[in-house]
Amino acid sequence: MKKQDVLNIEGKKVGDITLNEEIWGIVPNDAVLYDALTLTRNSLRQGTHDTKTRSEVSGGGRKPWRQKGTGRARQGSTRAPQWIKGGVVFGPHPRSYDKKMNRKERRLALKSALAYKVIDKELIVIDNFNIETNKTKDVKKVLENLKVDKKVIIVVEELNENMILATRNLSNVILLQSDEINTYDVVASDNMIITEKAIKAIEEVLA
């Protein structure tokens, strides 16, 4: 695996790191990646949507007119689907959107997402993300130094109060600890900023 530059929070190169080929250098599996994203999105759905069938809407107990002799089509109820205020045909009903994936598939999906970050040159490795204050402007300055102005995921080995407070008001920033990293957030971000220690922690788990 080729080496990746390591920058500091000022955007200057301070070294390099060799990424694990088995994680960052694999050929991404798009099918498994798609399934993982679908699973995550499905888990956010409540599945409480419901429509009433003709047996559930009120009224319609009386036959609107006699069966024969009127010249009109026969009707048994004014709550049939073709009537105004009638029931709904094939409408949605409460259901579970849960989807299952085995452990190997989930790991492969995350590896694929990480590999895409390298392929698309959206991975930025920094030596540390230690900011001295809890001010949002300090994080903005770091992002400016790293030339990141889109949606970004920042992965660190361990969170501290300054990081949390400084990033929580930035709508384009997702801050995660290395053991919280997930496929959906990686794919949803335009850039990924990760510390050296966080990379080692992820590689220990996924390798």
Digit-coded pLDDT (tens) for 71-113: 999 999 999 999 999 999 999 999 999 989 999 999 999 999 9
Q: Read off the pLDDT of residues 106-153 as tens digits, 9 standing for 90 and up.
A: 999 999 999 999 999 999 999 998 888 899 999 999 999 999 989 999
How many whole angstroms separate alpha carbon 38 and alpha carbon 41? 5
d(CA 6, CA 124): 8
Tokens standing for 99? 């989807």
Q: What is the pTM of this model?
A: 0.82
**DSSP assignment letter at 13:** E
Domain 3-45+101-206 class, CATH top level: alpha beta
pLDDT for res 33: 96
7-31 burial: b if 16+ Cβ within 10 Å, else e: bbbebeeeeeeebbeebbeeebbee
List, as one string, the DSSP characters of 146-194.
TT--S-EEEEESS--HHHHHHHTT-TTEEEEEGGG--HHHHHH-SEEEE
pLDDT at 1: 63
Strands (DSSP E) found in 11-108: 13-18
Q: Is the pLDDT of residue 65 over 80?
A: yes
CB contact set of 198 (below 8 Å; sequence gap of 6+)? 155, 156, 157, 178
**Within the chain, which residue ranges are assigned CATH 3.40.1370.10?**
3-45+101-206
The confidence band for 61, taking pLDDT boundaries of 50, 70 and 90, is confident
Q: Stretch 172-193: mean pLDDT, rounded?
A: 95
Place of tokens 């698309």: 120
Question: Residue 121 has which token pair?
Answer: 């040159």
Report the helix count and the strand count for the chain, using DSSP H and E.
7, 6
Specify whether the CB–CB gap between 96 and 47 falls below 8 A. Answer: yes
Q: What percent of the chain has pLDDT over 70?
A: 100
